[in-house]
Structure 1
Amino acid sequence: MTITHDSSTRAFELIAPEIRADLIAAVRENWPDLSDGLGERGVHQMVVFLATSAGTDAPMTPSLRVDLFWHAFVLHTKPYADFCTALGGFIHHVPDRASRNPAEARAAVIRTRSAISAAGYRADPEFWPGREHRRLFGGLLAVPRRVLRQPREHVASQPCEPGERRQPSGPAPGGRRADRRRTYMNDARVAAWDTYAQGRAQRRTTNARGESTWFNWTQYPDHGPGAEQLSLLPGGRVLDLGCGSGGNLAHLTTLGMRAVGVDVSPAQLGKARARWPGVGGMELHQGDALDFLVPAEPFDAIYSVFGAAYFTDPVLMLPAVHAVLRPGGVFAMSQQPAVEGCYGCQASYIPRGPDEDPAVVRRWDYPTAAWPGLLRGFGFVNCTATVLPAPARGRRKIGTLLIRAVREG
């Protein structure tokens, strides 16, 4: 059977209910808040993308959200092959590394959305953000792929943006910020970081040099580089993603910066306000870092020290940061170096006491050498990743991974 352009429902029904349920479950591993209803819509949008691509010679590019479902379907090799046969030919996933330009990617997915509409299908805006959603979605619109029409066979390419990870259900087409907050924030994650805050002491009143404020990138006191990594001038506007109790922010204000911090934990922000009550020029916000970034006013530098950038999928975080960083601005983050062989989404456990299971939060680890390419894939330049050795004193040997990049001016 060949699927025609007025039969997306019929095409959808070619995928058995149990396979659709498996696809939704697979996508939910990277998109925890995905509901069954939204998952069914995602499967349907994958279907209309594949059906449209089968009927055109024009290049086709899925959105990241649609791509999650496509990846899951490809792994079900026989049902996927049978579905492609019904479309008239197999649709391959073939790597295409020719272009990594985010602007080209966004334009390609908008063209695909138009092609879907022209073919008589409905492009669901939850899965196909259009031109008007560029800032709303932090630039994260497309994983460039080309679907090339060949006799009885179709070829689709792999992403030019690295990885395919959890996608948010996102805001309604009108783009209210509160809608995204309901997507990203949940009580368990807030409670986990509140627990972490309760187990951490306040920053010392002075460091080894007798200073009352200082900037620290590492997990060790009086160690490593300082705020010079951010290349800020006095008066610059700087954002701390996962600011915790605000020690680094407080130091930046003493350098003449307009320092803004966001943290998901009310307990952490309570500690910040208690520790730095008289600091002017410091602005604190409670909420999810991605919610705060979309939309946000431009920043001269954005950083995260063992903070939200460590605990958010970089495929979501990096384009959102890039979208609000001024040209020439620095993005820098620090975290633990990855354990060899343990890459991608990993679990971190926060103790809650001897009689309770620990709280679980997710972090993202990649080999040090992979970070520059990951950053370049989202439009950054001058990308570096370096492991700062642990202090020579003491028995601890794990260093600190410091990642730094610049938005091209």
Structure 2
Amino acid sequence: MHPAISLPSGFSNCMSYQPIMRARLYDSVRDGWTRACVVMACCTVSSLAHAAEPNWSLSADQELRYASWSGTRGFPASGSSAAGAGTQLYAPLTIQASGQPLENIKVDLLGRGGYVWSRQSTPGLTGSVTTTTDTVVSGTATYLGIPGIQPFVSMNVNLPTGTTALYGSAANARMDQDIVDLATFGEGLNIGPTVGVNLPIGEQLILTFSSGYTWRGAYRMEALLDPASTEPQATTLVGPGRVATQSASLGYQLANLTLLASASYAHETATRLDQVSSYALGDRYTLSGTVGYAWTTSSSTTFTASWTNAEKNRVLDPELLKIIPESFRSNSAVYRYRLEQPVVSGNWTVAPMVNYMRRDQNSYNPVTQQFIPAKTRIGAGGSAQYSLREGLSLKASAEHFWIKENLTELTPNLRVRGWIAMLGGSMKF
């Protein structure tokens, strides 16, 4: 699953209105969100005051995403002194439906699944995996019968159709979450309800507040492999902590200017390993904002910035037999910036872009058992979309990126470079 947050729940709900927001969710933006998504929006807030169209609409989006990297070391850098390389192919399919079955009830449904092939070819860290991904289904119902207030409730479910335990060398197919789309390939059954409210204020401003809670089901992950053992590789039963999330967002539009801002806070309970409380991830804070300006009817500029930070984790003290705050913070703050310039000409939409990411210190993800080094990442590329007819379009994008990792003060800077590309198509019925 790629839980946690594409947008705060309420703000995402707002996007379902006609024609409230035309948005792109960029999966190249990743962090402790697992896959995070940043809004690139052109917003008409005043339309929130009107009821949605009564007819149902259905859309399908199929993509093929490719990521390839090479660097001075593999992943993790401590695992091999040889030059590293890796490749991942990911094919997600998303189906969405939206409609108004009752006069004052708006319903939005979404389902997403996919298939992935991931391989690292670093000497000493070679491994590959081919698997389906987890399936995510969600639904949101919004009540439109109260002037000026639009309460909503949503349910998000992660179905465990992916692979959680990777035996032997296959575990090396997990790669840096700042490079590839999927750093892990499955979780347990997760159920996450959310309640919230949209508050349209005038014709230009909308506020959204929401609160969510996620119950996360247990799953098995491979235990560390003992090369000297002749026994089959053991597994660990992972009981993930439950997550409570509070979020708020704001959207504002005045003439050609669009402003979007959101904030969220997440608190997680302890994770149990083989029925023993072993760690609890630190509280997480996320701030993001987007400024968009339409210069003409065919040209606009959008700038997006985000900040994500996590406090100290709590870990098991073997003497006290309880979890306590770790002695030093093993989490990092992540800063992301993206600038894009979409241009429309006839049936074509072309959007060159540049982006920048900085992870301020080394971190460790106990969920995936991965060390994530401090780094700076610069990417440049663009996307293109061609409308074949109303409701049917083809799209493609490509980005070249450069990464400089700062592993320790005593080791030389490690460098990675690579490509991320996407081909896809969308159909709306």
TM-score (normalised: structure 1)? 0.20
* Structure holding more strand per residue: 2
TM-score (normalised: structure 2)? 0.19
